[in-house]
Structure 1
Amino acid sequence: MIDNHNLAELVAKAASDKKARDIIIMDLLGISPVTDSFVICSANSTTQVQAIADNIVEQMEEQGIRLLRKEGYREARWVLLDYGSCVAHIFVEDDRVFYNLERLWSDAKQMSYQG
């Protein structure tokens, strides 16, 4: 069984493999009733957002980790991938700046993922 920290690392690595930028892992344990962590990253284009999302889904499936929900894929400006204890947010840069989840969840411990 993969624990939450390892799941967030796997998601971050899958994003990094497709050249996601500014990857942040946020520890929401005890802060959010919905999930234990966020992985937030940026992409240069909607095409890259989809490529990153596709790679995360593929890599998680290979680990036997089931995707619970996917939102925003068609527009691909902000794709959300819900794995229960970990939620990935893949943004085009402008939308990431606009929504600023890092500020919204500023109580959470944040770790930059270097790959």
Structure 2
Amino acid sequence: MNNKELLKVAVQAADGKNAQNLMALDMKGISILADYFIIGHGGSVKQVQAIANEVKSMAEKAGAEVKRMEGYQEGRWVLVDLGDVVAHIFHEEDRLYYNIEKLWGEADQVEISQMLA
């Protein structure tokens, strides 16, 4: 599975659990951490955990290795590391506070609407 296919799996999984304001950033040439970041949020700790679980589960079903998942217990900012794709699932308040979209503002936004059609 290539990185673009893994991105699609993760975006669809997050959307399937109603992640809000879902976006993907193309991090190639900007960060050595990953080729793509997915950013979304939920309105409660339980929803954040459900979104993270779905991303992890669907990635594994697609044959991807989940390197690690951090922040799950607190459910405020869960990072799901899929290697070249990293999903950042926030609680809504924490997303506003950390505003990582601005931190990585030089990254191009990936058009995800076709992935969700």
* Length-normalised TM-score, structure 1: 0.94
Q: Is the 8 A contact 1:11 1:88 kept in 2?
A: yes
Number of corresponding residues: 114
Same amino acid, percent of matched pairs: 42
| Structural RMSD (CA) | 1.0
Shift of 1:7: 1.2
- Show the counterpart of 2:16: 17
Q: What is the rounded CA distance, in whole Å, between the counterparts of 1:7 and 1:23 in structure 2?
A: 16
- Show the counterpart of 1:7: 6
User: Pairwise mapping of residues 77-92 of structure 1 onto structure 2 (< 5 A)?
Assistant: 77-92=76-91
Query: Which runs of at least 4 in structure 1 moved beyond 6 Å after TM superposition?
Result: none
Q: What is the rounded CA distance, in whole Å, between the counterparts of 2:73 and 2:50 in structure 1?
A: 12
- 2:84 partner amino acid: S
User: Pairwise mapping of residues 45-84 of structure 1 onto structure 2 (< 5 A)?
Assistant: 45-84=44-83
* Length-normalised TM-score, structure 2: 0.93
Structure 2 spans left out of the alignment, 5+ residues:
none
